Structure 1
Amino acid sequence: MKRGRLAAKLWTVFVCTALLFSLAGQIAPSTAYADRGAIDLWKSIKPLTTIASAMNTGAHPDDEHSAMLAYLSLGQGVFTSSVIANRGEGGQNEIGSELGNALGIIRTRELQEASKITNVHLEHLSEKLDDPIYDFGFSKSPDETLAKWGESVAYERLIRKIREIRPDVVIPSFLNEPSTHGHHRAINVITVRAFKDAADPSVYPEQLKEGLEPWQIKKLYVPATEKDYDVRIPVGDYDQIYGASYVQLGEESRFMHKSQGMGRNYDEGPSYDYYRLESSTAPAGNKQESSFFEGIAFTFADLAKEAESKQGGQAVAQQLKLLQKDADEVIAAYPDFAAVAREVHEMKSDVNAAISRVNASSLDHPTKVDLLHRLEVKADQLNKASLEATSIVAKLRPESGELVAGQTAKMTVTAYNGGTLPVENVQLSLRVPAGWQLKALTNPRFAKLNPNATATVTYQVSVPNNAATFDPYAKPIVVAEMRYEAYRSMTAVTIAPEETVAVLPAYSLSLDPSETVLNTLKADQPIPVNVTVKNYRPGKAKANVSLQVPEGWTVEPAQQELTFGAKGEVKSLAFTVHPSATVSNGSYTISAVARDGSSSGSRKVQVIEYPHIGKTYYVQPATLKIQAFDLHIPDKLKVGYVSSGFDNIDQYLRQLGIQVDELDQKAIESGNLNQYDTIVLGIRAYGFRPELIASNQRLLKYVEDGGNLVVQYHKPEDNWQPSLAPYPITIGTPLIQWRVTDESSKVTMLAPDHPLFTTPNPITEEDWNHWVQDRSAYNPSEWGNEYTELISNGDPGEKEFTGTFLTANYGKGTYTYSSLVWYREIPSLVPGAIRLFVNMISLHQ
């Protein structure tokens, strides 16, 4: 009786593990590349040769040790996972203007695509939009990071991932040392602590009640140097099958992080990544180990020896030895697809038999749980290997990837047999969320699928009226499953749709502007608001659109009707909002609402689409944020803006009523610069607008002739040279030590009577309040005596910087260099930052 209950519990653990790895088993559609076929087959069968696993932990997308992961996963076949804390929401964007959650969505998709290249299982600690574990910007302290994330939240999620994935080896990407980003340090801190705690049943015991089991990591490694290491990973080794070294394969994945400008080209040749053993429960070995897995079971043969040494493990050991033979035969059959398919399916049958043997054995409970987990991982890998070896191409094609609540649409599942082996008992099914209705319009079962034949099933899918809208961080809401039989064993694989399937609002409402300033010195001026409406309903539709405004405000007209002839049609409406006569300083919100006979909505769909990540969506409230405060702006101020593509400050200046011209290459190289009162260079402009270097003397001549040049922060690698400024300015290095991350840190105005603090807006201490994310980045370490130091500022307990905000007369004009993070403050409508920026672009001798 006791054995029966134990077997039932182990089966529950087995099922939970199967659910865990169901996502890993999804076969996502991909573009056909030259490395398909035999290389993809090898990529699927190499993992069958080892039962070892490793986990790499990091804070942000791009923190993964890509070369090391490529070596372990692609080179050794190790089940390799990457656990990343946040989504990178607080970073910069080198491919577009998306910031915040929209940038987090991009970076998440980039990391997903990067992980596909290295065959790495990806997990995040951050689970949803606006999650407590978010990228709030640069931090110098792990304590600050964990306090903002919620230490118990972050730690519980990490322990959960470790207990779910059960890695033999864990490697945090960074050390906990002062020269490192606080987010990186925080992940190191909790990863090191988890080495013991993940195995302690008293730590988060509620996880055990859910079916998870404690897990003791066998080894914990941390990054090291060539001078002091325990193991070096030969990432420079050349893999003849892939035709590249593991460094090159890792960089191929890093090139997917395009929003961060990642990826480098490396030549062939020896190179190593170095790691130090921090903690271990494995038998002690040599000081310098041959691999991460020295002293740890790596193959089925190793696992058989361990089982054989335990009471009741002899029969299981024999089955594990058979699996070792199976794995060797799979590899030996490569690259003959049919032969590999036969060996894979024989191994599938033997894995199923091994699972039965383990369940029937008298092995101790922890050993059973461990063996079942490893066998389930292998079963999942065998399913993918079968699909590659049989050359089955399965696809899920929705009639439309953009659905709305209440809609009925068709979705087609196809399976093409591109191999030489017929497969039998084929079933093509569809999985949809609870509450959705599903009907197969054609028979989903096929007795046989012969070579060069296609099986097709069409489903009718009905979305319920209360369906949740699209979540970019959730698993696909609709997937297909293909099951088939070959060599008397079944294979089941999950197929993601060829395009994102998203439930979207019936109408997307976009307000222009989406943020604006209400100048209380001119409160009687109306606010023009344009609302762009996109129809996502299939066919014709009609909706009434109105604005919800603060109490005491009015809007003309009260509402407007729109008629759409087809899905995807876009129309625009113009409204005029009149603030109340007594509007005071503060924040206000205007919402757009669309109503038809069956629904009412106030949401905006931001389509995010780039070639390397495809299309996804960010659904958010359809609002206009208004910040009301007093602001003086000189009449007829004319500004030339040189954008690097990383900021959109020029758009906000136009909203203020300032004439701003975007300066292109021709304007910079040969245009009349003297027509502008001020020229502003966007952040890092010298690094991304190469014409600036060649034309820098023109810019300095513009200043000398009486112009006002404003230069925002640069990194040294942005082609910055001290001589680009009229008087030398050197950027401080290392960069981590030359920034102020506390947005609430005290600011002292060193030259309070300078025009920058008086004209046209008087700047007070209040103007330094309510800043967001950071104060400054990449501050200068040296500068000429000609500059006036405008402010002193630093993080609490650290030396203050006085080179953050510098200005100097040059000839008849003025030159200002500022490391303040205007590109974050201006779009956030921080009143003091906007006042100060207006003063900066109004400055003249």
Structure 2
Amino acid sequence: MRKLFFTLSLLVVVGTVVAQTAPPADIRTIRQNLKKLNVLGSVLYIAAHPDDENTRLLAYLAQEKHYRTGYLSLTRGDGGQNLIGTEQGELLGLIRTQELLAARRVDGAEQFFSRANDFGFSKNPEETLKFWDKEKVLGDMVWVIRKFRPDVMICRFPTTGEGGHGNHTASAILAQEAFSAAADPKRYPEQLKYVQVWQAKRLLWNTFNFGNTNTTSEDQFKLNVGIYNPVLGESYGELAAESRSNHKTQGFGSARQRGDAFEYFKTILGDAPKADLMDGVQTTWSRIPAGASIGAEVAAITKDFNDDAPQNSVKALVGLLDKVDKTIATDKAMQTVRLTATAAADYEYWHKQKTTEVKDLIAACAGLWFESYAAQPTYALGDSMTVNNQMINRNKVPISGLKVDGGGETIKAMTGTDNWNLSASEVTTVPFDNKDLRMPLKVLSQPYWLQTSHNIGSYVLANDTLAGYPENPYAPKVSYIFNIYGRDISYNRTVQFKYVDPARGEIYQPVVIAPPVTANIAEKAYIFNSTQPQTVQVKLKAFTNAAGSVSVKPVAGWKITPEKIDFIGKKAGDEWTVAFTVAPTDTRTNTAGFDVIVTANGKQFSQGLLQMRYEHIPSITLFPPAQAKLVNISLKTAGKKIGYIAGAGDLIPDALREVGYEVHPLTENEILNGDLSSYDAIVLGVRSYNTNQRLPYQQPRLMEYVKNGGNLVVQYNVNNPLVTREIGPYPFTIVNQRVTNEDAPVTITDSNNPVLNYPNKITQDDFKDWIQERSIYMLTNLAPEYQTPLQMGDPNDAQSKGALAVANYGKGRFVYTSLVFFRELPAGVPGAYRLFVNLLSKPKN
């Protein structure tokens, strides 16, 4: 059974710049949106993970064809590797969610997700669908299709396995089922209280040619998506590279491509396209009854648009908005006669989409700018928030009679400020600073899919209608109503915190709504190998005035003192640390949870604070469970001092310090010129030979260290690219071979090997309770000098000895392991600790 481990540490990486909340209003954006206004068509692209999407095709569909374009990624990429930090699991999924949103801001598509969890590499779709809970994930897909109403659906992968990953194949299988299920009122009928059934015109497979797999052919339908857009000033190959380069955790920085580039398609379901992707679909305003005249008016506004005076188009756009509304109102009165329920729903769908587009164009052309800012970055749940609302009418369009209201989507409406005359020369500020007008905060800023615990395969949603959203839909909002040329027009803005950084200028970040007091435990796991007590420190932070206590949930087999620690008189922003003494009650192997409970102002909370900041995405804040892991194991150590050479990022150094090792990060100067003999072992972090460009120059010194009696341990690397292929003293080949079943049997083929006996005797029991997988990117073609004491393989797969290779070289020892210690040690897996310690412990000669 796969297990879930949630990282609890506080992470502050680097600063971030967040895009402003007002939509872009530059001339090229206005031009593109005017073109989009005259297109009524939609395309939904479907795959399994962040980075699976074809960014060049998405950019072409959204920016050249001006279709409403969406990408449905079934997972958030939680099970992948991280090249820019140490986050794994849900934390990595949060980062990759924001990377996808950053990519969509570039290519112009929209982003959606299901509740499926990326539990790691899967070799077949059967395993994937078993873990995902197929019916629930399929229901999410049907929900997104019924809401988005795509005319064309496109899969990245086929159902026949050429995509390699079982998640990939499963995404195609589910897309085929969802294509039909979305149109069937008997499937997921509970959704029909909110949406109508929907039948897309066709489902296509976007065939591909990458790696050693070419699924394209010239008899397939194809599109040239490499064309140049003079309004944007770049081709879609250039735009796609910028979009894809946001997938930094995956190392997918891409070169800009110029010139023709063809995408190929196979028809899976529905009518095959012949001349155009949208064959058989009406994508003009003629799609709407009485809509042809609207299309003509849009064309006229576009023709008359003046780049130097966009405000001259505002009056016509306001008239267009009136006409769109009047057309829908007239048709509603007649739809029982003229329209089927499906056609009426399609009509209302496009009315909503196009109304939003027209309103945004009105604001952009008018030079109307408005945003809402909180007075501070963080507030406590149950408190209220002071908001300043700023606006300016920069193009001198007649705008009057505005209203600012803190109602939003989830906060109940309250009286706002009415009847302001908006200045054309200076910023107008409308503050919600009266006590009765301050915005009450009722919803924690916790990602909706992480609000409750979940199994390995899928998240638990409080409400199925949340499916699809990339982020929380209930962030605090302020609504505005402006009267422009006699028409009341409403808008929403999400409340942000804005400040000025001396080095980077104006910075936006999401407002955080936190528990009254959070509790962060110093370590994620505490390893005991005796009944000797340890001190567990808990760092507390108040977000409001608070008094209460901190306690730990009792757990069998452990003595925890004191039972409770009181606090009083804490103010917002206060931080303090409390300590508990913890000891096992006996020497038996025992694993338990250490759960902190904070009682603040009469209510109980059990949440930590975690913040992640990277420059390419907005800051991320969440409140994970305030818990750690207590592990009592029989563990012997030998040696004390470890040198560590960082790779892509892992938490192994912290895990080693937890069991008493002194871990020193080695600099290049220390490697090349220092006394390496002082280290009992030197360890290379995961993917070092993929990411550290200096290793080829350091390699001779490392081999000299081994030859002179040292112990070098190299953790896994992917097979390509490698900065050098001469990793060990003797040759071997890294291949993309994995053991993905964490419960797969492990055979000990050399029970007398020192790495299985010193200082801990390794048995089959040490391979129990591993998480996510056993081994990735294993070895083959090993030179005869290597000893391979372990053999393993997934069910029905060939057994491999490539997970652990050991060779004596000179007076020392070289170890290469593709076992996933970078997952197991932070998770506190006892057997993984025992084996890794053995790898660090070369017996004395």
- Superposed pair shares fold, TM > 0.5: yes
CA contact (8 A) 1:680 1:711 kept: yes
Residue 17 of structure 1: aligned partner: none
Structure 1 SS opposite 2:63: helix
Whole-Å Cα distance in 2 between the matches of residues 371 and 435 of structure 1? 30
CA contact (8 A) 2:387 2:439 kept: no
Q: Please, what TM-score do these two structures have when normalized by structure 1?
A: 0.87
Q: What whole-Å deviation, never above 9, does each CA across 1:567-616 have from its counterpart, x for those lacking one?
A: 32322233322332x25312122233334444443320112222222222
Q: Which has the higher contact order (CA 8 A, sep 6+)?
A: 2
**1:157 corresponds to 2:155:** no
Whole-Å Cα distance in 2 between the matches of residues 217 and 467 of structure 1? 36
Q: What whole-Å deviation, never above 9, does each CA across 1:398-441 have from its counterpart, x for those lacking one?
A: 1224221332331122222122312233222223576768554x
Query: Which of residues 482, 491, 496 in structure 2 aligns to 1:484?
Result: 482
Structure 2 SS opposite 1:386: helix
Query: Which of residues 363, 375, 385 in structure 1 aligns to 2:338?
Result: 363
Change (3 A) 1:273 1:89: same
Whole-Å Cα distance in 1 between the matches of residues 80 and 35 of structure 2? 36
Change (3 A) 1:52 1:560: same
Structure 2 SS opposite 1:652: helix
Q: How far 1:810 moved relative to its partner?
A: 0.9
- The amino acid across from 1:784 in the alignment is A
Change (3 A) 1:804 1:111: same
- The amino acid across from 2:166 in the alignment is G
Q: How far 1:645 moved relative to its partner?
A: 4.1
CA contact (8 A) 2:372 2:390 kept: yes
Structure 2 SS opposite 1:695: helix
Change (3 A) 1:278 1:556: closer
1:451-470 superposed matches below 5 A: 452-458=426-432, 460=435, 468=444, 470=446
Q: How far 1:720 moved relative to its partner?
A: 4.6
Residue 250 of structure 1: aligned partner: 240
Change (3 A) 1:33 1:542: closer
Q: How far 1:67 moved relative to its partner?
A: 1.1
Change (3 A) 1:536 1:364: same
- The amino acid across from 1:708 in the alignment is N
1:734-773 superposed matches below 5 A: 735=736, 738-773=737-772
| Identity across matched positions, percent | 27
CA contact (8 A) 2:47 2:156 kept: yes
- The amino acid across from 2:91 in the alignment is A
Structure 1 SS opposite 2:654: helix
Unaligned runs of 5+ in 1: 1-27, 127-132, 305-315
- The amino acid across from 1:295 in the alignment is G
Residue 579 of structure 2: aligned partner: 574
Residue 191 of structure 2: aligned partner: 207
**1:271 corresponds to 2:271:** no
Structure 1 SS opposite 2:527: strand
CA contact (8 A) 1:751 1:791 kept: yes
Structure 2 SS opposite 1:425: strand
Structure 2 SS opposite 1:783: coil
Whole-Å Cα distance in 2 between the matches of residues 834 and 50 of structure 1? 59
CA contact (8 A) 2:408 2:492 kept: no
Structure 2 SS opposite 1:614: coil
Q: How far 1:186 moved relative to its partner?
A: 0.9
Query: Which of residues 203, 223, 226 in structure 2 aligns to 1:236?
Result: 226
Q: How far 1:453 moved relative to its partner?
A: 4.8
Query: Which of residues 656, 662, 684 in structure 1 aligns to 2:665?
Result: 662
Change (3 A) 1:47 1:34: closer
Whole-Å Cα distance in 2 between the matches of residues 592 and 680 of structure 1? 34
Q: How far 1:743 moved relative to its partner?
A: 0.9
- The amino acid across from 2:583 in the alignment is H
Query: Which of residues 614, 625, 635 in structure 2 aligns to 1:621?
Result: 625
Count of aligned positions: 779
1:691-840 superposed matches below 5 A: 691-732=694-735, 735=736, 738-840=737-839
Whole-Å Cα distance in 1 between the matches of residues 583 and 789 of structure 2? 39
Residue 643 of structure 1: aligned partner: 646
Structure 1 SS opposite 2:139: helix
1:575-590 superposed matches below 5 A: 575-580=580-585, 582-590=586-594
Structure 2 SS opposite 1:106: helix
Residue 299 of structure 2: aligned partner: 328
Whole-Å Cα distance in 2 between the matches of residues 212 and 785 of structure 1? 64
Residue 676 of structure 1: aligned partner: 679
Change (3 A) 1:553 1:786: closer
1:359-508 superposed matches below 5 A: 359-361=332-334, 362-365=337-340, 366-432=342-408, 438=414, 440=416, 443-450=417-424, 452-458=426-432, 460=435, 468=444, 470-471=446-447, 473-498=471-496, 499-508=509-518
Unaligned runs of 5+ in 2: 1-16, 209-215, 449-470, 497-508
1:86-235 superposed matches below 5 A: 86-126=75-115, 133-179=116-162, 180-208=164-192, 210-225=193-208, 226-228=216-218, 230-235=220-225
Change (3 A) 1:631 1:781: same
Q: How far 1:665 moved relative to its partner?
A: 2.3
Structure 1 SS opposite 2:203: strand
Whole-Å Cα distance in 2 between the matches of residues 415 and 360 of structure 1? 38
CA contact (8 A) 1:229 1:275 kept: no
Q: How far 1:372 moved relative to its partner?
A: 2.3
Q: What whole-Å deviation, never above 9, does each CA across 1:445-469 have from its counterpart, x for those lacking one?
A: 4255546553524255667697556
**1:535 corresponds to 2:524:** no
Query: Which of residues 299, 302, 307 in structure 1 aligns to 2:284?
Result: 299
Q: How far 1:80 moved relative to its partner?
A: 0.8
Structure 1 SS opposite 2:620: strand
Q: How far 1:32 moved relative to its partner?
A: 10
Whole-Å Cα distance in 1 between the matches of residues 812 and 640 of structure 2? 16
Q: How far 1:552 moved relative to its partner?
A: 6.3
Residue 63 of structure 2: aligned partner: 74
- The amino acid across from 2:579 in the alignment is A
Q: Which moved more, 1:136-145 or 1:502-511?
A: 502-511
CA contact (8 A) 2:517 2:600 kept: no
CA contact (8 A) 2:693 2:723 kept: no
Whole-Å Cα distance in 2 between the matches of residues 718 and 444 of structure 1? 62
- The amino acid across from 1:296 in the alignment is V
